Amino acid sequence: MHDTLRINGDRLRQRLSELGNIGALPGGGVCRLALTDEDRQGRDTVMNWMRELGLDVTVDVMGNVFGIRPGSAEGPPVMTGSHIDTVRTGGLYDGSLGVLSGLEAIETLNDAGITTRRPLCVAFFNNEEGARFAPDMMGSLVYVGGMSLEEAMATEGIDGKTVGECMQAIGAQGDAPVGNPDVHAFVEIHVEQGPVLEESGITIGAVEKVQGISWTEFTLTGTSNHAGTTPMRLRHDAGYVAMATASFVRDLATRLGGDQVATVGAFEIGPNLVNVVPNHARFTVDLRNTDSDRLQQAEWQLHEFITQLAEREGVTLERRQLARFEPVPFDPAMVDRVEAAARTQGLSVMRMPSGAGHDAQMLARVCPTSMIFVPSVDGISHNIEEYTAPDDLEAGANVLLQVLLDLAA
């Protein structure tokens, strides 16, 4: 009887715009790194909206936030949500769409006077991006018991400060426990962050799985020497090893093909002078694949290449794993629900994998989980030019609303 219920698209876009003003960048986009003052302002704003909608707001010891709307019966809630932290040059929709679409679904139900049987919960998780503190999805990982609170709190960020110090500084820590959540089901709406939906002319992605992620930081130490007087055969060039590896990483992804992607994202070199052989290099490699065996193959080939090259060049090699997650399949029945909700509303839909990591992959450890994708214009994300058309935002939020109603009935 609620199949025709629809969200208010203008209201959703207004909240997206208001949240986007916190940490706004010149020219568009937003910088709201986890546990900064901008993040605190964002957290306060969203929690105030939750309270205005009558939600019971709780915060756990990892700084994850939950707004619960009671149902007519007690029991584990149907949860939706995402994150509100961003990368340094983020867009308005990454993460925020998932949280604010959840709030819009709640307000739509309030306006219609509908009480679901099961409770509904809108959540946002701490430090999803991992842009300041690795690994990404840290808050949801601790929430489901995949990482200890102590390890998370001791994690040092790119500015030398720890998670614990920064949580205390902005008052982000609550009292609710972590590690053993009781959730009936979880569904997350997110912008695709890629070009597939737009290229295919499809409005809704029913996400079947999230690909595995491997982040590694490599540090190379060689010998500084004069660029003009040191023969090539006698050099211990950390910069050469780093740059040759970066080239290898690109070739590796192309050679393996399929869903394999590989990125050298952070890169520094020293002493960074035109006439000095570099004695230092530090860089990161991001490997991803939907197939676990192929991801391991890529890791092994990268390890063999850089180890052998560093040894041949007389350069010391150190490596540090920043994040490692296996590919995660979503619950088939949950994926079916997303697809069915889209088709019922006359929306085009396709099943697809996610190339990015999301909080949903962590929640899949403890409850049936699925995701809804909407198109990203030109496939752009983690960029101030990130954009999703208003009609697509509204379509995705309406699919979310119907899935939540279905699950909470």
Q: Are 360 and 83 in contact (CB under 8 A)?
A: no
Q: How far is CA 13 from CA 234, 256, 280, in A?
A: 61, 41, 47
Q: Are 123 and 80 in contact (CB under 8 A)?
A: yes
pLDDT digit string, tens, across residues 185-223: 999 999 999 999 999 999 999 999 999 999 999 999 999
pLDDT at 1: 55
Structure tokens belonging to residue 136: 């990404």
pLDDT at 2: 84
pLDDT at 239: 98
Q: What does the DSSP 8-state code read for residue 406?
A: H
- State the chain's mean pLDDT as an integer: 97
pLDDT digit string, tens, across residues 21-35: 999 999 999 999 999
pLDDT digit string, tens, across residues 346-366: 999 999 999 899 999 999 999
With a pLDDT cut of 90, the percent of the chain lying above it is: 97
- Rounded to an integer, what distance in angstroms lies between the CA atom of residue 219 and that of residue 150? 26
pLDDT at 241: 98
pLDDT at 372: 98
Exposed/middle/buried for residue 323 (C-beta within 10 Å: 0-12, 13-18, 19+): middle
pLDDT digit string, tens, across residues 154-171: 999 999 999 999 999 999
The H or E element containing residue 216 is: strand 212-221
Looking at the predicted structure, is the pLDDT value of residue 384 above 70?
yes
- Rounded to an integer, what distance in angstroms lies between the CA atom of residue 167 and that of residue 177? 16
pLDDT digit string, tens, across residues 244-258: 999 999 999 999 998
Q: Are 166 and 37 in contact (CB under 8 A)?
A: no
Looking at the predicted structure, is the pLDDT value of residue 148 above 90?
yes
Residue 362's identity, in one-letter code, is M
How confident is residue 3, by pLDDT bands cut at 50, 70 and 90?
confident
Supply angle C-alpha 137, 141, 147, rounded to 5: 125
Looking at the predicted structure, is the pLDDT value of residue 396 above 70?
yes
Structure tokens belonging to residue 259: 């869903």
Q: Are 327 and 295 in contact (CB under 8 A)?
A: yes
The model carries a pTM of: 0.89
Looking at the predicted structure, is the pLDDT value of residue 100 above 60?
yes
Which residues are CB-neighbours of 177 under 8 A, at least 6 positions away? 60, 61
Q: Are 167 and 63 in contact (CB under 8 A)?
A: yes
pLDDT digit string, tens, across residues 294-323: 999 999 999 999 999 999 999 999 999 998
pLDDT digit string, tens, across residues 115-143: 999 999 999 999 999 999 999 999 999 99
How confident is residue 242, by pLDDT bands cut at 50, 70 and 90?
very high
- Rounded to an integer, what distance in angstroms lies between the CA atom of residue 71 and that of residue 165? 37
